[in-house]
Amino acid sequence: MKNTAYAEERYRKHYADRDSLSSSEFTVVMEGLLREYVCMGQCNMYIAVAKDSEIKQAIKTYLMDVCNQNFMSMKKILQDGGYDVPVSEQNATSPDKVHDVQINAIDDQMIVVGQWFAARSFMQLWDMGAINSQRTDIRDAFIQNFHRANRWHVAFHDLAVSKGHLQKLPEISPTMTKMSKAGQKLKESLTP
């Protein structure tokens, strides 16, 4: 318990301990902000072209639950430090104002599998961002963003499986990891 308290005390000491950002913090916060801004547009495109109403609704919910919230957390960090915010969420179209578009450039399977990969990429972005900051309020914001993406990574996989766009991930049973008798003999013959 002492060790936890020791680390926690030092961690809290660096919570918003300065207004300015280090060069690595500025870079990852700006990249996070811009990536979420682009994500808003990508989600709107997916909403416009998806044919399955459940996929459309999932993307709308993701946009509100993840993209918008993560964008706002990065915007707040920049504004609190006195930095310019180069883009505005006001420029992104509300998903409720997006109209259906009929094109053959992408289908529902590509959309939902793409979102599964996108959520994983966001998890990596937010993990890297947290690592690149010694300001613990920034780390906390990045970890919260990571957890949002983490939930949706599982949700998009589940949605893709339920729609037949992906298969369940294969499971490895304990018996599959046991060495065969021939393999055991080979191991024994190679062991000095």
The tally of domains found in the chain comes to: 1
Q: What pLDDT, on the 0 to 100 scale, is given for residue 9?
A: 81
* pLDDT single digits (tens) 138-187: 999 999 999 999 999 999 999 999 999 999 988 887 776 777 777 778 77
CB 62 within 8 A of CB 111: no
CB 36 within 8 A of CB 72: no
10: containing domain: 2-190
Least confident of 8-17, 64-73, 107-116: 8-17
pTM of the model: 0.82
Residues 6+ apart with CB under 8 A from 96: 60
Least confident of 51-60, 118-127, 139-148, 173-182: 173-182
Residue 28's domain is classified under what CATH number? 1.20.1260.10
* pLDDT single digits (tens) 96-113: 899 999 999 999 999 999
